[in-house]
Amino acid sequence: MHDATRLSQPTAQDSSDPSLVGPSRLFQQVLTIADAVAANDCVVLLEGESGTGKELIADRIHRRSQRTDGPFIPVNCPAVTETLFESQFYGHVKGSFTGAQGDTFGLVRAADGGTLFLDEIGEMPLHLQPKLLRLLQEKEVTPVGGTEAISVDVRFIAATNRSLARAVEEGKFRRDLYHRLNIVRIEIPPLRKRPGDIEPLVDHYLEYFAADYGSDVRQLDETIRGQLRSYDWPGNVRELCCWVERLYAANLPPMAPGRDIWDDHYATGEPIEYHDDEPAAPVAVAADARSLADAEAAAISKALAETEGNRTRAAEMLNIHRTTLLRKMKQYGLAD
């Protein structure tokens, strides 16, 4: 079975994450923040629609951290059964319940020295969330049937395709757990908000699947490429990857992608304005950057300083509308 997530593994010749293709300013900013927090052993919350590459970003953070030699353990939170939560996460000792024929480490201890990736954390049942909160705070587990707590050295990265802030307001997610997870928050923009990344991704996967299927690289005419650029890709990079693979797997002629029924449930508390999808160098941020918002505020401050406070020129430098600049200056406390 061909799996796009395999592309997250770097080759010996190339460790530049070839699957994380995207020259747009928005995506480069995401990678910059991810790389900045990789060295800081803190909790990271990744938010974005399904198919935007949250697990790839989490894996990149792990591989660029001091834990790179440790395990990277992904956990599908909706699949964790309520009755066996403690056994699955904390492990158990032999004889602690019917069927416990030996000691088990559990997911948390299996990730000791590495990273535990909590995927779709927003789907975890509300009554199980206090258990996770205690784990994040105490960094210790007590196996089912055990009597002593065991300290663990684990970094936690969580991901969700829902806005956890909105889930908190709706009473579907604990506020205290949200704040514990929201140490560093990175929002991964959907592909439709960074159209400049579409063709580079298409070309990347055309070459990848040609090699994977032992075929010549398929060629796309400008009509098809125009349709790919204008399509909104509700399934994001995952949908694009599957569209390209289908060309090789079924030896079909290229056809324009079609929209199916999509519901990713993702919504931010406040709409984010995206204006720039042109290739650009990554924005430099400090290694202790706390969020994408901090990087944005720093970029605005720098632009204002370089233009001696001229807001019109600063907006042009940032490639945003002047009204957007004024609103963000007020939002970040940068206005007089």
Q: Using one digit for the tens of pLDDT, what is the confidence trace for 111-129?
A: 999 999 999 999 998 988 9
Q: Quote the pLDDT of residue 274.
A: 47
**Relative orientation angle of helices 292-306 and 322-331, to the nearest 10 degrees:** 120
Q: Quote the pLDDT of residue 313.
A: 81
Least confident range from 141-155, 187-201, 272-286: namely: 272-286
> Residues 133-147: what's their mean pLDDT?
82
pLDDT at 329 over 70: yes
Q: Quote the pLDDT of residue 147.
A: 67
**Relative orientation angle of helices 25-38 and 292-306, to the nearest 10 degrees:** 110
pLDDT at 104 over 90: no
> Residues 72-100: what's their mean pLDDT?
74
Contact 55, 44 (CB under 8 A): no
Cα(290)–Cα(182) distance, rounded to whole angstroms? 9
Least confident range from 42-51, 179-188, 265-274: namely: 265-274
Q: Give the CATH fold of the 292-331 domain.
A: Arc Repressor Mutant, subunit A (1.10.10)
Contact 176, 138 (CB under 8 A): no
Cα(107)–Cα(51) distance, rounded to whole angstroms? 24
Instruction: Quickly count: other Cβ atoms within 10 Å of residue 131's Cβ.
Output: 14
The overall pTM is greater than 0.75: no
Q: Which CATH code fits 198-249?
A: 1.10.8.60
Q: What is the CA radius of gyration of the chain?
A: 22
pLDDT tens for 27-49 read 999 999 999 999 999 999 999 99
Q: Quote the pLDDT of residue 233.
A: 94
Closest CA to 46 of 108, 93, 106, 115: 115
pLDDT at 289 over 50: no
Cα(223)–Cα(149) distance, rounded to whole angstroms? 62
Structural domain boundaries in the chain: 4-187, 198-249, 292-331
pLDDT at 162 over 80: yes
Q: Which of the pair, 308 or 14, is modelled with greater confidence?
A: 308
pLDDT at 170 over 90: yes
> Residues 228-248: what's their mean pLDDT?
94
Q: Quote the pLDDT of residue 316.
A: 72
> Residues 74-99: what's their mean pLDDT?
73
Instruction: Quickly count: other Cβ atoms within 10 Å of residue 231's Cβ.
Output: 19
Pairing of strands 140-141, 150-151: antiparallel
Q: Which of the pair, 138 or 9, is modelled with greater confidence?
A: 138
Q: Quote the pLDDT of residue 12.
A: 30
Strands (E), the chain: 44-47, 72-76, 115-119, 140-141, 150-151, 155-160, 184-187
Closest CA to 135 of 108, 157, 113, 105: 108
Q: Give the CATH fold of the 4-187 domain.
A: Rossmann fold (3.40.50)
Q: Quote the pLDDT of residue 291.
A: 47
Contact 191, 240 (CB under 8 A): yes
- pLDDT-derived band at 1 (thresholds 50, 70, 90) equals very low
Q: Quote the pLDDT of residue 18.
A: 58
Cα(290)–Cα(292) distance, rounded to whole angstroms? 7
